Amino acid sequence: MSSRTIHWFIASLTAATLCTPALAQFAERGSLPGSGAPSIDCSGRSIKAPRIRAVHTDDTSLVGGTAYLFEYDPFLAYQLGRNINFREFRDRDGVFSSKVANLGGPMPDGTTAKITANNHTSCSGCHNLPQGTPGGGTNFHKDSGMGRNAPHYFGAGLVEMIAIQTRAKIMRVIDTNNDGWVSASEATASGGRVDVRPAEFGRPINFGNPMLSNGSTGKPRLNNIFRVWYVDANGVQVPGATEVDGQTTFGYNFEMVVWGWGQGPGRSALNPTNRTFLWDPFNAHSGLQAFDPTTTNDPDGDGVSEPSLAGAIQFPATHRAPDAGNTLDAKGFSRDDPDNDGHMSEITEGDLDLGEWFMLNAPQPAFKGTAWEYHIGIQVLAYLHCTDCHTPNWFIEPRDSADEPSVHKFAGDRRLFDLTVYNDLMRGGLQGSMRKLYTQQGDRYVRNFDGYLVQGIFTDFRHHDMGEGFTEIGFDGTVNTTWRTPPLWGVGSGFPWGHDGQSLSIEDAILRHGGEAQGSKRLYQFSTPYVKRFVLEFLSNMVLYDYETMPADIDGDGQISPNFVVSGMDTEEERFNVEWLFKNPLKIQGPFTNVDGISIRSFAGTNIPQAYGLDLPYRRDSDLDGWPDVWDNAPTLTGYKDGVN
Ligand code: HEC
Ligand code: HEC
Ligand SMILES: [Ca+2]
Ligand SMILES: [Ca+2]
Ligand SMILES: [Ca+2]
Ligand SMILES: [Ca+2]
């Protein structure tokens, strides 16, 4: 035990004696089976580490800050991000605002409420099928009386990277003078359409018309997946402007709002980045407001931020985290408390770094069939014109070199690793193998930023008019038939289907296709029973899976060990449990005799403080109030609200 660990233990023992009732409230399950504590879990899958606000840093030498974790212990950063995504936040964290399950947010009519807010303590309240993954499948009261179906966000990093890259590719064509925005004359010169080729052999996708509706003034007519804002002669956003008028606005800028089913023409969808899709639902569902200088770091005022620590640009033009940070503590956290519950900085910039890191690296869905079935399946979908919208593959370009002249640079595949999952015919099930996308340089993990072919995602990321079958009548009476082509990966585990979850079979979802998909739907309807069965089986084979229990080769020796030894303990079959890849791997408890006298293997951790870096200077929280010592104005006095109170 290092002296720092001892320090943490002493500190936590002191805290424990001072405030036992508070400790008993922990929703984490980090205690050891046999200890008599309520907070145990022999499976080891529960969140083990206490909630400590993460401290954002750019400086990798600040030990325990987020830049340090990305560089020196990136699998711990992944796990902490997973925990942010799946943690059940408690009253001591400031969960919910003054109300629970209140109506919030306006519909297009301006007065009708759009959602039931403050309705869940965790993302995993809705994204939990299978449990402990970013799955989906639940419905919640949003937009209409039918509600909205929660999609999974497996492969979220790939989706985000495609979106940011697609914007860059369009910009590279139309922003000819390379100043980061589209002037009226550049719009005119675009020739009236812009196409992006998704992958080498893919058909170019038409993303609409960049030209302004009245020539040198008006609005562009890009596909509804994009949201546009208007800028002055220097490319600076003009708040509230709704078109290029040649007086105050001289051009536009845009983002690809890749996430969300769709909100109707002119309203695009929900969120453009993963970081945004963290702080937004934290606020909406859990009443937790994030303070995020990363999002507002936009020195030239064009509405696009510098890249986050994980490398994603943000779009403050349209999406800003709810805690503006008007009053900063001397230690640098926000004291704004927008929801007036006394809890400050409920979600920190560092928490978002980690949560985004998990989403960036979240493994993608798998195909549970043979290579032959996959190959033929794509051909059948192409024959039925499904692939006109459900585009199978996208390519992520490698990172541009520094001398690439365009300001719209490609960032490369920013992930740390790829989990390749395939169907093992001998074993009869899915198994995986982890491929490193980094190079180890001493203690540092340096990402490669190579290219990557995203296979089997099946979306063109466009919004389409889908006709009557997919009509949504909003709470306020608005009518919407325009929806984003949902990625079909994972669709076989997607029960139920459609934006409203009203389709209880995949075939029903296909038969609801109309509008722009009418011809394709007809081809399906009139095909032979054999073809139909093949399509449905093909789609059913695109599945989600439980990341952490699936057998997987994670040490790169090409085999899945039946007795994978970590820290001297047999963890049974090798699987994708990132705790085994920490700088200080988790050591499990091992054989344990349960209440029935049966010996089982306990996966509870015996070295949680070391493994989870609880003694690192920027993570240490001596009084366990969620405020790390470096941010705690009373580091030995428990004060959940701001470190003191
Ligand atoms: C109350 C249920 C609920 C909770 C809690 C919830 N979500 Fe969602 N999520 C949804 C629904 C429903 C949608 C689709 C909304 C729409 O498009 O109208 C969605 C969409 C998403 C998407 C976009 C998926 C896609 O394919 O477009 C992401 C990413 C996501 N949620 C992440 C999160 C994260 C991260 C959290 C926690 C901070 C969270 N969600 C909390 C229900 C929920
Ligand atoms: C014109 C574009 C287009 C074509 C062509 C098209 N789709 Fe779709 N598809 C969509 C859109 C948009 C949705 C989302 C509709 C909604 O839920 O509101 C969708 C939804 C689906 C869903 C449900 C996905 C989910 O997660 O709930 C399935 C399954 C599906 N499509 C399969 C097919 C098949 C099979 C074909 C060919 C027979 C096809 N689609 C043709 C655009 C298209
Ligand atoms: Ca320009
Ligand atoms: Ca608050
Ligand atoms: Ca503290
Ligand atoms: Ca304190």
Centre of ligand 2 from the C-alpha of residue 132, in Å: 27
Compute the average pLDDT of residues 455-459. Answer: 98
The domain 366-543 having CATH identifier 1.10.8: the answer here is: no
Q: Would the CB of 278 count as within 6 Å of ligand 1?
A: yes
- Residue 528 burial (CB count, 10 A): 8
Domain positions in the chain: 157-256, 366-543
- For the CA of 463, the closest atom of ligand 2 is 12
Q: Would the CB of 345 count as within 6 Å of ligand 2?
A: no
What pLDDT does residue 3 have?
Answer: 42
- For the CA of 147, the closest atom of ligand 1 is 12
pLDDT reading at 8 higher than 90? no
CA distances in angstroms from 269 to 264, 295, 615, listed in the order given: 8, 19, 42
CA of 638, nearest ligand number: 6
pLDDT reading at 308 higher than 60? yes
Q: Would the CB of 261 count as within 6 Å of ligand 1?
A: yes
pLDDT reading at 136 higher than 90? yes
Query: What confidence tier does 26 reach under pLDDT thresholds 50, 70, 90?
Result: very low
pLDDT reading at 21 higher than 60? no
Is residue 137 within 8 A of residue 490, CB to CB? The reply is: no
What pLDDT does residue 17 have?
Answer: 37
Percentage above 70 pLDDT, the chain: 96
pLDDT reading at 18 higher than 50? no
pLDDT reading at 14 higher than 50? no
Which residues fall inside 5 Å of ion ligand 5, going by CB?
A: 621, 623, 625, 627, 632
Per-residue pLDDT of 90-109, as tens digits, reads 999 999 998 899 999 999 99
Which residues fall inside 5 Å of ion ligand 4, going by CB?
A: 94, 337, 339, 341, 343
Centre of ligand 4 from the C-alpha of residue 574, in Å: 42
Compute the average pLDDT of residues 385-399. Answer: 98
pLDDT reading at 347 higher than 80? yes
- For the CA of 484, the closest atom of ligand 2 is 12
The more confident residue out of 494 and 100 is 100
Q: Which of 21-30, 254-263, 485-494, 575-584 has the lowest mean pLDDT?
A: 21-30
Q: Whose CA is nearest to atom 19 of ligand 1?
A: 150
3-state secondary structure of 375: helix
pLDDT reading at 343 higher than 90? yes
Q: Which of 3-7, 68-72, 73-77, 563-567 has the lowest mean pLDDT?
A: 3-7
Compute the average pLDDT of residues 299-322. Answer: 98
CA dist 288 and 128 (Å) reads 20
Q: Would the CB of 150 count as within 6 Å of ligand 1?
A: yes
Q: Whose CA is nearest to atom 26 of ligand 1?
A: 151
- B/e letters for 267-297, b = 16+ CB within 10 Å, e = fewer, are bbbbbbbbbbbbbbbbbbbbbbbbbbebbee
CA distances in angstroms from 281 to 118, 150, 253, 286, 360, listed in the order given: 10, 12, 25, 7, 17
Q: Would the CB of 535 count as within 6 Å of ligand 2?
A: yes
CA neighbor of 68 nearest in space, from 524, 462, 616: 616
200 CB-contact burial (10 Å; exposed 0-12 / middle 13-18 / buried 19+): exposed
Write down the pTM of the prediction: 0.96
What pLDDT does residue 494 have?
Answer: 85
Contacts of 306 (CB under 8 A, 6+ apart): 297, 298, 299, 313
Q: How open is the CA angle 139-143-144, to the nearest 5 degrees? A: 80
Which amino acid belongs to residue 393? N
CA of 627, nearest ligand number: 5
Here the contacts of 584-590 (C-beta below 8 Å, separation 24 or greater) are: 584/610, 584/611, 584/613, 585/611, 586/44, 586/611, 587/611, 588/44, 589/32, 589/33
Q: Would the CB of 358 count as within 6 Å of ligand 1?
A: no
Is residue 372 within 8 A of residue 378, CB to CB? The reply is: no
Per-residue pLDDT of 607-638, as tens digits, reads 999 999 999 999 999 999 999 999 999 999 99
Q: What's the mean pLDDT when you consider all of the chain?
A: 95
Q: Would the CB of 499 count as within 6 Å of ligand 2?
A: yes
pLDDT reading at 1 higher than 70? no
Query: What confidence tier does 49 reach under pLDDT thresholds 50, 70, 90?
Result: very high
Query: What confidence tier does 426 reach under pLDDT thresholds 50, 70, 90?
Result: confident
Q: Would the CB of 544 count as within 6 Å of ligand 2?
A: no
CA dist 183 and 491 (Å) reads 41
Is residue 303 within 8 A of residue 318, CB to CB? The reply is: yes
Contacts of 81 (CB under 8 A, 6+ apart): 354, 355, 356, 357, 358, 359
CA of 626, nearest ligand number: 5
Residue that the structure tokens 């914007």 belong to: 167
What pLDDT does residue 428 have?
Answer: 82
pLDDT reading at 2 higher than 50? no
Q: How open is the CA angle 95-98-103, to the nearest 5 degrees? A: 95
Per-residue pLDDT of 184-235, as tens digits, reads 999 999 999 999 999 998 999 999 999 999 999 999 999 999 999 999 999 9
Compute the average pLDDT of residues 404-428. Answer: 94
Would you call the peptide bond into 496 cis, given omega within 30 degrees of 0 as the criterion? Answer: yes
Centre of ligand 6 from the C-alpha of residue 22, in Å: 13
Contacts of 401 (CB under 8 A, 6+ apart): none
